[in-house]
Structure 1
Amino acid sequence: MPHSATRSTFERIVINQFTPLHCAQAREMLGWDREQLSEQSGVSVTAIERFEAQAPVRDVTRLALAYSLEAQGLVFFPGFSPGRGGNVRGTTPDPLGREDFALIE
């Protein structure tokens, strides 16, 4: 497990890089609907809809979405569509197992 300061840095990077547009584009790339993303991330369909509509969601919710998509090998950079990374498995392999899972919307 990474040091908490390091983990916090990873989380800040994800929060600043992962956008609502990334979420919708990533779902499309994977052929997932919101229900499938909800099952993989533990985030409610309603929260996914809100996030993709650019409404505010909790940081932990955004992280769960990003990590579940990263676990599928996707990478996210500001200003670019999601890409596939051959060596990327996300910083949280199982978003449902996170300590802060109960806070996800």
Structure 2
Amino acid sequence: MATLAMKITLERIALFQFTPAHCAQARAMLGWSVEELSEESGVSVDAIQRFEAERDVLDVTRLALAYRFESQGLVFFPGFAPGRGMNVRGSTPDPVGRADYAMVE
């Protein structure tokens, strides 16, 4: 039961720490276009563009984007540009393998 509570807590933290500005900044850091991020994350181009325009997207979509960037070693903190984590490879190395992946836009 503690594991489920921890998972939910970590997902909530990721949701609040990962912003639309982070998404655009992280793409720039990695040299990815919206289309490349779509291919890498499994999130539609339209959903990425809506998110970066600060419009509503599903939480699972935001998590898929955040986890994809985290799998590249990026970390996110409110009010700061993304950074490279030390010894961090992300909590979801394969977002497509997540149980809630089917909900991604």
User: Smaller-chain TM-score range?
Assistant: over 0.9
- Unaligned runs of 5+ residues in structure 1 are none
**Which residue in the other structure is 2:36 paired with?**
36
Aligned residues: 104
Report the TM-score, using the length of structure 2 for normalisation: 0.96
Find the residue that maps to 1:9 and give its secondary structure: helix
What is the aligned-residue identity percentage? Answer: 68
* Structure 1 consecutive aligned stretches of length 4 or more whose deviation exceeds 6 Å: none
Per-residue CA deviation, residues 38-85 of structure 1 (Å, 9 max, x unaligned), is 111110000000000000100000000000001111000000000011
**Which residue in the other structure is 1:45 paired with?**
45
Find the residue that maps to 1:3 and give its secondary structure: helix
For 1:19, give the aligned amino acid. Answer: T
**Which residue in the other structure is 2:92 paired with?**
92
For 2:25, give the aligned amino acid. Answer: Q
**Which residue in the other structure is 1:3 paired with?**
3
User: RMSD across aligned C-alpha pairs, in angstroms?
Assistant: 1.0
Offset of residue 86 of structure 1: 2.2
Offset of residue 24 of structure 1: 0.1
